[in-house]
Amino acid sequence: DTGVSQNPRHKITKRGQNVTFRCDPISEHNRLYWYRQTLGQGPEFLTYFQNEAQLEKSRLLSDRFSAERPKGSFSTLEIQRTEQGDSAMYLCASSSGSPRSYEQYFGPGTRLTVT
């Protein structure tokens, strides 16, 4: 069990560019979550996948954001036409699909800086 991994760990991009982040969940976990954390704040929920189906999206996820989880394995989060307000830590978490499993395991995050 190598835990949740995220790549890249850091990304610096210019305003208007597109960026894509990747999350690899714990292998047996079928639930995957994306959160965003800005400086001095707690993480805020963005979106949720159960297997390959995206079942919930936050209002924070504007049209410039898209997330996928092909084949129910890794997930990608893409931000198009980045804005300075997108600068944040993007966290991925996964959990087991068993009914009594409530724990979400977090990856180390991808820190995005938009200049």
Partner 1 sequence: AQSVTQLGSHVSVSEGALVLLRCNYSSSVPPYLFWYVQYPNQGLQLLLKYTTGATLVKGINGFEAEFKKSETSFHLTKPSAHMSDAAEYFCAVTKNTGFQKLVFGTGTRLLVSP
**Positions in the binding site for partner 1 (CB under 8 A):** 4, 6, 33, 35, 40-45, 48, 55-56, 91, 93, 95, 102-109, 111
Nearer to partner 1 by C-beta: 62 or 101?
101
Minimum distance of partner 1 from residue 87's CB (angstroms): 15
DSSP β-bridge partners for residue 24: 5
- Specify the DSSP element, H or E, that contains 95: strand 88-95
DSSP β-bridge partners for residue 20: 78
Determine the Cα–Cα distance for residues 82 and 62; give it in Å rounded to an integer: 11
Question: How far, in Å, are 10, 41, 46, 100 from residue 90 at the CA level?
Answer: 10, 12, 9, 27
Tokens representing 34 are: 């994306």
Minimum distance of partner 1 from residue 40's CB (angstroms): 7
Minimum distance of partner 1 from residue 67's CB (angstroms): 14
